[in-house]
Amino acid sequence: MNIIEKRIAELKQYQPDLTAPKDIELFWDKTLEDVQAKPVRAFKTPVETPYPHIHASRITFEGVDDTPLHAWYIRPQFSGNQKLPCIVLFHGYTGGKGYPEDYSSWLMLGFAVFAVDVRGQGGETGDRLDDPYGTVKGWVTKGILDKDTCYYKTITTDALRAVDWVAEQPDVDASKIAISGASQGGGLALMVAALSDKAAVTVADIPNMCHMDFGVMNSTSSLTEAAEFANRFPEHLEQVLHTLSYFDMMNLAHRIHIPVMVSVGLKDTVCMPETIFAAYNRIESPKTIEIYPFTGHWVEGFQRRKTAEFLMNAFN
């Protein structure tokens, strides 16, 4: 066994202790009730692009706290009004939904696309949620002293509402909704897989929001913001870790019941392999993991092709 094989074998056996609080299931059941109790109010505005074969609309829908959330809904012109499979896409930390043409490869496969801004970051979507306490730079520590005000709760409920909107569209095949993203987006894709009954399949590339206590201690990810907060306010360290545990995919993996593809780079210092395998190893539904021994925190073109093949096989 060479060193690469040994490293992979060790990671496949990695099972750190769960950090789930006793009321985690009650918390998420109540949260899902709150999400489902509020109808998804949305507005659709056609958008012109330089690309004649893309039909694009700007969708504005409301978060649970009434923050207007922005997304692109994109379809290939050749599809008319026929029902299409739809992929819901979440971007990485500090990013945004970009331009409609960024998703042309999915249109060529015959998919509709719903590309969503994560609130407050680098897209067009703001955030009306109050700051109940001081924060450090970035968004991760917003509301971090309480599970009900935590930024991770808000972006997760936003993601769930995005999928609910897609499932209601008359030109979407509601039995063929895929969820995907990378890094932060990969974490949200796994959260949706665990919490939504609308998703049929999920691809989570180099996902964040996994084994977050390990990440706070060791990674160079956005969780360094939580580490800085705890360093600034050491009396709140235990509460910070307790809050994050409600949103840790390691603690929610057992709720996933749909096929999942995950990718991991063994040289990734942002979403470290230990964090990803800690969650992946606890998924009990059909799953596959694509391992890139020499990749850091990025997604290779080969993995994008593997994702297309995975989803086409799932829906054919």
Mean pLDDT value of segment 74-92: 95
Q: Which of 289, 101, 310, 94 is nearest to 210 (CA)?
A: 289
Residue 258 CB neighbours (<10 A): 21
Note the pLDDT tens digit of each residue in 145-185.
999 999 999 999 999 999 999 999 999 999 999 999 999 99
Mean pLDDT rounded to a whole number for the chain: 96
**Catalytic option among 55, 70, 211, 297:** 297
pTM of the model: 0.97
Q: Which of 139, 165, 164 is nearest to 150 (CA)?
A: 139
Q: What is the mean pLDDT of residues 58-66?
A: 92
Which residue in the list 55, 164, 183, 248 is annotated as catalytic? 183
pLDDT of 55 over the 90 cut: yes
Which has the closest alpha carbon to 131: 153, 114, 154, 149?
A: 149
> Does the active-site annotation cover 268?
yes
Closest alpha carbon to 117 in 143, 89, 137: 89
Longest dimension (CA), the chain: 59
The verdict on whether 183 is a catalytic residue reads yes
Q: What is the mean pLDDT of residues 221-234?
A: 97
Domains and CATH numbers, the chain: 3-315 (3.40.50.1820)
Q: Is residue 73 marked as binding?
A: no
